[in-house]
Amino acid sequence: MDATFHKMLQGYRGFREKYVRCEEGVDSSLMHRLAVDGQSPEVMVVACSDARVDPALILQCEPGDLFVVRNVANLIPPNEPDASHHGTSAALEFGVCNLNVKHLIILGHSQCGGMDALLNRSELKQNDFITNWMSLIDNETDPVEDVEILAKRALLSSYENCLTFPWIRERVRENKLKIDLWFFEIKTGEISAYSFKHNQFQSLVDDND
């Protein structure tokens, strides 16, 4: 059996032991409670599909804590109320309007393949979906060559796009929703958060905390 698949099955057993187990015939497990009460996460995360950037794992969250949508390069498109199939916008709508999350975190990361694809379009072969998706980022008006700089700039672009959704704009204005832009450095595991006050990314937590 494939090693990763074997690890997955072991993980699945561990998950059930930790979150689904009955205590002396009484089912008070977290999953049981979540099934009865439903989900009510306070935080939504938009993250990249990259296998190294799993928000629940990085933030050590439990089932029910995070409402997550992952896509190539953690991009948020602008509000386009047409008949196309907008998966990320649908997830945003559900998280913000139905679940009423209080925080929306857009989680970018280093070494993003999506950003790399945008910078090296000539290397793409038959990747029409990726090319079109990555065209959400404008790297022509003031082009950069650096993947990390582009990834951070894309976070700001996604933030601007967020505000084109009236139900997000309204909640942000009323302080019912806070949007955070985070950048995860794969090599060091560090997260920096964008400070709108200082116009720069700063360490999310002091390591001495």
Binding site for Zn ion (CB under 5 A): 48, 50, 73, 112, 114
Annotation marks residue 52 as catalytic: yes
Rank residues 105 and 177 by Cβ distance to Zn ion and give the closer one: 105
Q: How far is the CB of 39 from Zn ion (least distance, A)?
A: 26
Rank residues 77 and 114 by Cβ distance to Zn ion and give the closer one: 114
Q: How far is the CB of 66 from Zn ion (least distance, A)?
A: 18
Bridge partners, residue 184, by sequence: 109, 191
Helices (H), the chain: 3-19, 30-37, 55-58, 87-93, 113-119, 128-134, 147-162, 166-173
Q: How far is the CB of 129 from Zn ion (least distance, A)?
A: 15
Q: How far apart are CA 18 and CA 31, in angstroms?
A: 10
Q: Choose, from 13, 52, 121, 173, the residue flagged as catalytic.
A: 52
Q: How far apart are CA 5 and CA 7, in angstroms?
A: 5
Q: Choose, from 112, 153, 162, 171, the residue flagged as catalytic.
A: 112
Q: How far is the CB of 113 from Zn ion (least distance, A)?
A: 6
Q: How far apart are CA 124 and CA 131, in angstroms?
A: 8
Q: Choose, from 50, 153, 162, 171, the residue flagged as catalytic.
A: 50
Rank residues 13 and 121 by Cβ distance to Zn ion and give the closer one: 121
Q: 155, 168 in Cβ contact below 8 A?
A: no
Rank residues 53 and 168 by Cβ distance to Zn ion and give the closer one: 53
Annotation marks residue 109 as catalytic: yes
Annotation marks residue 48 as catalytic: yes
Amino acid letter for position 206: D
Comparing CA positions, the residue from 78, 59, 67 lying closest to residue 101 is: 67
Angle at 156 between CA 153 and CA 171, to 5 degrees: 170
- Catalytic positions are 48, 50, 52, 109, 112
